[in-house]
Structure 1
């Protein structure tokens, strides 16, 4: 059912199965598609005169690739659909480009590469939208979104005004930002601006990327070559959400002390780890989960992907509660085996 209120078109009791990559049949109390700043202003004004609307819990929804939804959401779901792609300015050493928050992330990355702007290629094929990328500071293959971040514009539901955030104000951390941990759903990101280097250098720190390029005879890769390699690698390891419901990497790679890492190596010398600048070590969560025997296993309609233990999949009809239960079982098993606490990447709503 649809109805209009203050010139805003709300949808009532909406199924979100196709709006979240895990494919959970969640039902939203109300949904509003946001494709302009003017709509946000009108919504803020509506809040001032409609207590029922203003008091609904808000959920800001991008591509739905980092959410695990409950069966019913008593929320006002704001589906972000703001589109734009543009070169803002070209300096002596950078291309400054901006994208609307509702742009598909991978399509935006491919657009930058087609324009000759390198820098985002290592983040190819990450699901979701541009507006979601700063929220959890997406990253892959040695590059994080913050490495190319310039600024963003967000609408503040407290003040009813737009605000520009620089890098420091976003408080980026590993798969985190103040938008995710400090003030979730206060701000709706409208657009994100990136600074892409003219003096481009390939980031091939992850061995499988370098090996892939070497195997196909590319010794001096260009940005498009790196992107193509990463797309091929990701497709070989990760399931397509359009075919198998999933939220991508489900657990963060844990950071542990040198002492704990040494204890693990004494029992498991093959443990995969990466030294950090502060002397700690990042462990491969997928390896920990695989070593505990979870890869390919399922519990009811939720399973661990057979090709990558870091990914949980919807085998058909999974609920948010069932996903949470399996995640907790995996966390418990890994802690019992390695004394390592795994942290979930997606947000449970």
Structure 2
């Protein structure tokens, strides 16, 4: 691997933020991974970069930035009802979804059109329309940058949570995701109860959808609601949907009758962050080159020329505004670098 100096990271993040990587190396083969230990020993600090779709750069990156581009998707094992699919971390997530759709392998159709790389998927435990990666993931293959050895993480070992995992917490910037393996179904078990997805399928006149039709419906919803990062800088949903107690929801519903709550269990409810942000007056609001998307308030956009710090400060103002109005503190889904 060659190391390049002072590389612009603007092409490597969907926000389109200008930042510099002091040292930049592209991992293109499995053989490259075997030589990483020599590189990481030279630097006290390193950063792991995938698709850049869930990152906000607020400063330049010192030390070594590793850009994972190892690619490949193939069938590991299959029987009459299930199949194991291995995908390397440098693949685009949606390319993996398309591979599965083309082969009629069910399980990831609800996760269609999510931006980013395969390697980032387990870090975030990506999810959409009632399905999360944890529902289909068999195991993760990762390389320890400090111990210089490969480890296989089972689904349970990943400690998946809502947009969370062991890779985002305990092993943040300490593990290089090499590949993931999914267990998918040849006989679809569709998840189509999510409100907007159900409505879109009805609009399409589809009663018994195929996995391809579910993916098509998801694509329509995402395209209509979310701005294209190729046209306007953004990282998709910037905030997580907060969880509050049943009692807290009851108190809030006395003042806000239409507050949307989704039961997680008997005592806890998930609240729509988009609703909270809109009620706090941020939907469509713009300050300089930064704004809140007028169609989906969960999305903060870079209208052009915004710095990472400007976007961060804008998000902080939203957090404080929602906290003041509802007593609920939003948590960022986007990783701040």
Is the TM-score greater than 0.5?
A: yes
Does the 8 Å CA contact 2:106/2:185 hold for their aligned counterparts?
A: yes
The C-alpha deviation readout for 1:170-190, integer Å capped at 9, x for no partner, is 111110001101121111001
Q: Which moved more, 1:239-248 or 1:160-169?
A: 160-169
Does the 8 Å CA contact 2:289/2:304 hold for their aligned counterparts?
A: yes
Does the 8 Å CA contact 2:83/2:184 hold for their aligned counterparts?
A: yes
The C-alpha deviation readout for 1:14-46, integer Å capped at 9, x for no partner, is 001110000001111011001123212212034
Report how far residue 218 of structure 1 moved: 0.8
Tell me which residue corresponds to 1:127. 115
Tell me which residue corresponds to 1:64. 52
**2:210 corresponds to which of 219, 222, 227:** 222
1:325 matches 2:313: yes
Report how far residue 278 of structure 1 moved: 4.7
Would you identify which runs of 4 or more consecutive aligned residues in structure 1 move more than 2 Å?
Answer: 45-48
Does the 8 Å CA contact 1:24/1:71 hold for their aligned counterparts?
A: no
**2:34 corresponds to which of 41, 48, 68:** 41
1 CA distance for matches of 2:204 and 2:27? 44
Tell me which residue corresponds to 1:54. 43
Q: How does 1:152-167 map to 2 (within 5 A)?
A: 152-167=140-155
Does the 8 Å CA contact 2:25/2:65 hold for their aligned counterparts?
A: yes
2 CA distance for matches of 1:46 and 1:286? 43
1 CA distance for matches of 2:199 and 2:253? 26
Does the 8 Å CA contact 1:296/1:309 hold for their aligned counterparts?
A: yes
Instruction: Look up the SS of the partner of 2:122 in the other structure.
Output: coil
2 CA distance for matches of 1:201 and 1:148? 12
Tell me which residue corresponds to 1:267. 255
Does the 8 Å CA contact 2:90/2:119 hold for their aligned counterparts?
A: yes
1 CA distance for matches of 2:146 and 2:315? 34
Q: How does 1:67-106 map to 2 (within 5 A)?
A: 67-106=55-94
1:9 matches 2:2: yes
Q: What's the C-alpha RMSD, in Å, of the aligned pairs?
A: 1.1
Tell me which residue corresponds to 2:193. 205
Tell me which residue corresponds to 1:5. none
Change beyond 3 A, Cα 1:278–1:188? farther
Q: How does 1:254-293 map to 2 (within 5 A)?
A: 254-293=242-281
TM-score (norm 2): 0.98
The C-alpha deviation readout for 1:234-278, integer Å capped at 9, x for no partner, is 000000000000010000000000111111111111111100125
Unaligned 5+ residue runs, structure 1?
Answer: 1-7
2 CA distance for matches of 1:189 and 1:23? 24
**2:184 corresponds to which of 186, 193, 196:** 196
Q: How does 1:298-337 map to 2 (within 5 A)?
A: 298-337=286-325
